[in-house]
Structure 1
Amino acid sequence: MTRVSPAIRAALAAFFLCLAMLALFWPGVAMFDSLNQYQQLLSGSYDDWHPPAMARLWSLFHGLGWTGQAPMFLLQVLLYWAGLGLIAAALARQGARIAAAGVLLLGIWPPIAGWQVAVLKDGQMAGALLAAVGIACWWRLRDRPLPRWATTLVVLLLLYATLVRINAVFATVPLAFGLLGSGAWRPVRHGALMLAAMIAVLVAMPVVNHGLLRAHPSDVGRSLPIYDLAGIAHHAGVGSVPVLPASTWRKAETQDCIRPLLWDPLGDRCDFVADGLAHAAPGGELTGVWVGAIAHHPLAYAAHRAAHWNATMRWLVPWRYPLAEPQAGSEPNTLGLGSPSPRIEPFQRLAGVLAESPLGAPILWLAGALAVVALAWRRDDARGRLGVTLALSAVLTELAFLVISVAADYRYHLWAMLATGLAIALVAGAGLPRRGLGLALAALLLVGGSGLAARLLLPPVGETYTDAAG
């Protein structure tokens, strides 16, 4: 009897896990954002509040007669498991069977898998990036260059991932350098090049969205300045941001409009703040007001951003913090977007429990990514280089939330957690200094222990969106 190679066994395991996810969660979970994008493709009118690249791709399936969210769900799940399967197979081929098994287990970790089945830009981004990494790993783990067709696929996948999230550039640029470049990482040279590339991509994004993809400009770019101005007023005092009267900021304080979890109240139940700023600082004037307020009140700005970062990283927060548990069903709608079977509810509840625990906190995974960078930076073998590439992608993604973030949804961290788990699987084993491993473990215990203490001691704030928005 012909013996099946470890690589084929790993690939088959990924294939069957992919089939299981498709069967269990079909046709995917359509959330509020999913409905909004589907309405855009039905109307043929697109805006840039949600990524027009995803809606445009979705419209191609719809034009072929495949309605609903199923085609996009199928796409992101296939990309997800293709990437994980290729990475696991490449590791198994080298005899790293435990690492390969760890990669497959990462794919079914409930907080990640539970959110990956939601048809959203986060799942599309994670799937595209995993597929790009998987293709590159198949050759890179043997220190071989990618064939041209594989390089083209990796570039296209990175490009799509960049277009589906405004902050994806912090993940995709380091991946592009690490997957398509050669040699070890050089901090100064690569850091400068990556910074320049990120700025160039951010400048080009509006041109692509509004020109090539013909999306109408929305007010999405105003949400961050509005949120930060409100945060500065909250921490520095109601008279610190004179673009609006002190009475307006006082009213916002009284109505609990300024919350570390998300900006939404300022544009919804407290829309008098957004409306007031629309009159006082229309168009590009808001940017000048925003930058001026940060310059005049840097400590208040830092306190505001730190409070939000703590919330989105779910570090020192109470147990059962909002926006962590993935939905078990689609939002009610009249668009024909269905829901998976109710049998997924126990899995999604388990995902919520784990996501709300210290083990699921993005801050713990960030600590793991930082440990990989610190321990494996100087390794000049294929696994070390790829591990550092993935860890850098995770670190830059999470640190970007310090300055570019207005909400604390758990799904925003899908890629960073996946990249961290893969990085650990790649660098685990020989070649890491024992003393460094001890320090890394102590740091992880400190982060996890402090998170557990906060969950036990801090008063609850609720679990739902309504609780988060007050």
Structure 2
Amino acid sequence: MSATVERWTTSLRENWRDGTLWPWCLAAVAAACGYGVATVFHPGYLSADSNTQLWQALGDEPVNDWHPPVMALAWRVLIGITGNFSAMAAVQAGLLWGTLWVLARLVWKRTGSRGLSLAVLAVGFAPHIVNLTGVVWKDVHLAYALLAVFAIALTVRDLPPSRVKARWALLVTALLFLVYAALVRKNGVPAVIPVFALLVLAAWPAPGRRRWAAATGVFAAAVLAGGAGVSAATDPLATRVYAVIPVDDLVHVLTPEQVRTAAERAGADADLRDRLVTAAVTCRKRNITSDGYLQCFPQRRPFDVTYLDRRADVIVRMWTQQMPKHWKGYAEYRARVFSKLLFRSNQVFWNGTHVNAGARLHPEARKQPLNDTLRFALQNYVTGSARDLPMLFQGWFWLAVSLVLVLRRRWPGPHSRELRLLGASSLLYILAYLPTAPESNYRYVYWPALAGTVALTLVATAYAARRRAAGPSEAAARPAVPPAGRTPGATPAGPREDAGAAV
């Protein structure tokens, strides 16, 4: 028995020294960290949007496409499997930390450094990343799905050619994540495109035109099929929520009298005309500069999500008739909202649960109250970091990071092209908010913040690994410097030799 234990001990020591055990140690650390973060957020922090989707996921309200039906469907499936709505927040934490483990393992394989691989896991504890990990938001789902595709792409690239089955299994998994990302955020498609290109280049380092066309066709077909499948499973009510953007432009660019005239010219009914005029007056009176449909537009109780669906065509007609005439005011207004998003992002920490006026928190959520002790501890960490390191929570910083990632031609390490595409995804996602941002909210730059943090971490680990590798070789190549008074190649002399030399 003692001999067996001794053999096991010897084997473990050898595996520890040669690094065989370290990926499993990283997995254990990632699992423990993910469990800890999930515990802090349990049963999941809900916004008004996610509370609405919880009602839909549980079948207590009909699904509508104001919020992504695919997220409600995914939540419904999780609840059906686990019997608890808190599974969604736990899955979010598990996906993030599982992805970080994959990236940490890749860094370990490339550098052989335990410290650098742990630095990748530390991304999950960064204040601007952990602050939303357990908040059930479509923005979080988009970010984690795209990061998972990035990690899978790097893994596929490093697989030997003989691992054909593993390669295709990973590619199919990444495709599913990409389809989900495209469906879960209506304006997320610009961010998805560079990540899709990254995945194709990982599978085929030099794809030709036919392969690009085939891959693009497969992806487009998968997105269309996925959307059709979600619609068939949920039968969502049509809302045409995109109309909130022209409403915002109209009530902030035009005066109330101009809004009235524009509505009559476009053929709006009296109810829509009066509500638009009231919204324009209210926004000016209360100095509300964005999100006019939800903040200023008169709403009935309960909230009618189909109101815009019946009037979207008229609203779009008003916009197309008026904005070319008021292009200067439109440009100034959009610059104002976008600059606020870049420099004054709010809601760096979501404090638990919230419902809209006139709505109510789902009874299932009320049964599982939040842990206030852990919530306040996390809040102190995040808000203190926002005070001391405000740039981490502001869009301009991550816009600058994405620009640097895209414009630099070469980055250290083997993933220079992947880092540029990751930066392109962040850049396009931020710029897509220039004509569409409804308000200033940190969650709108959460994907650029996550992508930028991961990219900067990988760049830093590559620089550190290069310095470590260059250190011994530079030391070996550097000529030895003899001490003062001694010539190169001379050996230390004893007392007699010294005396003789002195004579």
TM-score, normalization by structure 2: 0.72
Q: Does 1:218 align with 2:230?
A: no
Amino acid at match of 1:416: P
- Indicate the larger mover: 110-119 or 390-399: 110-119
User: How big is each residue's C-alpha offset from its partner over 1:390-432, in whole Å with a ceiling of 9 and x where there is no partner?
Assistant: 111111111111012213221222211111111222334559x
Alpha-carbon spacing, 1:119–1:291, altered in 2? closer, same or farther (3 Å): same
Alpha-carbon spacing, 1:247–1:381, altered in 2? closer, same or farther (3 Å): closer
Matches within 5 A, 1:32-71: 32-41=48-57, 42-43=59-60, 45-64=62-81, 66-68=83-85, 70-71=86-87
> Partners of 1:336 and 1:31 in 2: how far apart?
15
User: How big is each residue's C-alpha offset from its partner over 1:75-122, in whole Å with a ceiling of 9 and x where there is no partner?
Assistant: 111111111110111012111746534432221112321211112212
> Partners of 2:308 and 2:438 in 1: how far apart?
18
Contact 2:51–2:362 under 8 Å retained in 1:
no
1:184 positional shift: 8.0
1:198 positional shift: 11
- Indicate the larger mover: 365-374 or 124-133: 124-133
Matches within 5 A, 1:26-425: 26-41=42-57, 42-43=59-60, 45-64=62-81, 66-68=83-85, 70-95=86-111, 97=113, 100-140=117-157, 147-182=167-202, 210=231, 213-233=234-254, 239=258, 242-244=261-263, 248=278, 251-256=281-286, 258-260=288-290, 263-268=293-298, 282-313=311-342, 315=343, 317=344, 322-328=346-352, 333-337=361-365, 338-343=368-373, 344-355=375-386, 357-376=390-409, 378=410, 382-425=414-457
Contact 2:393–2:442 under 8 Å retained in 1:
no
- Indicate the larger mover: 95-104 or 57-66: 95-104
Q: For the aligned residues, what is the CA RMSD? A: 3.9
Contact 2:279–2:298 under 8 Å retained in 1:
no
Contact 2:88–2:136 under 8 Å retained in 1:
yes
1:207 positional shift: 5.9
- Indicate the larger mover: 135-144 or 77-86: 135-144
Alpha-carbon spacing, 1:22–1:250, altered in 2? closer, same or farther (3 Å): closer
> Partners of 2:326 and 2:49 in 1: how far apart?
34
> Partners of 1:56 and 1:152 in 2: how far apart?
20
Contact 1:84–1:107 under 8 Å retained in 2:
yes
Matched position secondary structure for 2:351: coil
Contact 1:129–1:158 under 8 Å retained in 2:
yes
Alpha-carbon spacing, 1:421–1:129, altered in 2? closer, same or farther (3 Å): same
Alpha-carbon spacing, 1:324–1:250, altered in 2? closer, same or farther (3 Å): same
Matched position secondary structure for 1:393: helix
Q: Which runs of 5+ in 1 are unaligned?
A: 432-470
Contact 2:128–2:449 under 8 Å retained in 1:
no
> Partners of 1:226 and 1:13 in 2: how far apart?
49
Alpha-carbon spacing, 1:247–1:62, altered in 2? closer, same or farther (3 Å): closer
> Partners of 1:426 and 1:115 in 2: how far apart?
22
User: Bigger radius of gyration, 1 or 2?
Assistant: 2
> Partners of 2:280 and 2:147 in 1: how far apart?
47
Alpha-carbon spacing, 1:421–1:85, altered in 2? closer, same or farther (3 Å): same
- Indicate the larger mover: 379-388 or 23-32: 379-388
Aligned residues: 417
Q: Which runs of 5+ in 2 are unaligned?
A: 1-12, 264-272, 465-503
Amino acid at match of 2:254: A
User: How big is each residue's C-alpha offset from its partner over 1:299-318, in whole Å with a ceiling of 9 and x where there is no partner?
Assistant: 211111111111222x1x4x
> Partners of 1:205 and 1:166 in 2: how far apart?
14
Identity %: 22
